[in-house]
Amino acid sequence: MASTEPTHTIPRKEIQIPEWEDAAVNKENNATDGNAQSARAPARAGLSSKLDSILPPHRRYLGLSRKVFLIALLAAILALLALIIGLAAGLSARSKHNQDLPLPSNAQTFTGDLTYYGTGLGACGETSGDSDDIVSISHIVFDAAGSSSSQGGNSNNNPLCNQMLRASRYDADVGAERSVDLKVVDRCTGCSPDDLDTSLGAFEKLAPSASGRVDVTWAWLQPVSTSS
């Protein structure tokens, strides 16, 4: 048979912390906080003292109080940093742009438009005729390579002057590719980076003059150092 004896629950006794012990714990915590604050106080005082020795608070700097002077100095430093970062970003972008240009340091083959112009005295200081195998390079490429009269320099000293390139195109009439080696003597202000503007004689070695404008593929024959 099941037991009928009543069950008794033993009440749980709460642990009481004596008042003297609780007070001791609070006193210890307060002492720890006080020690931390007292440790920080000398550090702040030391920094303030160093600042006062370098820039005494009672003096004026460029006609300004110390506080205003320090704010102006901080603003100037931030502006200088922003300028340096901006210049660095600009130079990086320019360098990347020049790497994509058809400069002699770029060994790729380029495709652009081929046109011809009336020859004469070119930007490189050389006088050419219509029968000469010469070429005028885009002003964008010419100026990126070095000195140019448009930038206040002597274009005769541009490193692209007298450099050689080979221009080629497929002649559908004869079913073969035709090519001609051209010497850089001029700067073409109306040309895109990959375009070439040649003498009439050079143009006719690649296409009939009546065509006026045709596509052309070209590449530099040798690398050359430029300012890019």
Q: Please name the amino acid found at residue 216.
A: V
Q: Rg of the Cα trace of the chain?
A: 41
d(CA 60, CA 84): 30
Over the stretch 86-97, which tens digit does the pLDDT of each residue have? 676 554 444 444
Tens of pLDDT along 12-60? 555 555 554 555 555 555 555 555 555 566 667 777 788 788 878 888 8
More confident residue, 8 or 104: 104
Residue-level pLDDT at 169: 94
pLDDT at res. 186: 96
* Between 144 and 96, residue with greater pLDDT: 144
What pLDDT does 200 receive?
97
Whether the pLDDT of residue 67 is over 90: the answer is: no
Beta bridge partners of 165: 182, 220
**What residue ranges in 95-221 does DSSP mark as E strands?**
110-116, 134-138, 164-171, 176-188, 196-198, 214-220
Q: Please, which residues have CB within 8 angstroms of residue 115's CB and are 6 or more apart in sequence?
A: 191, 195, 196, 197, 198, 203, 212, 213
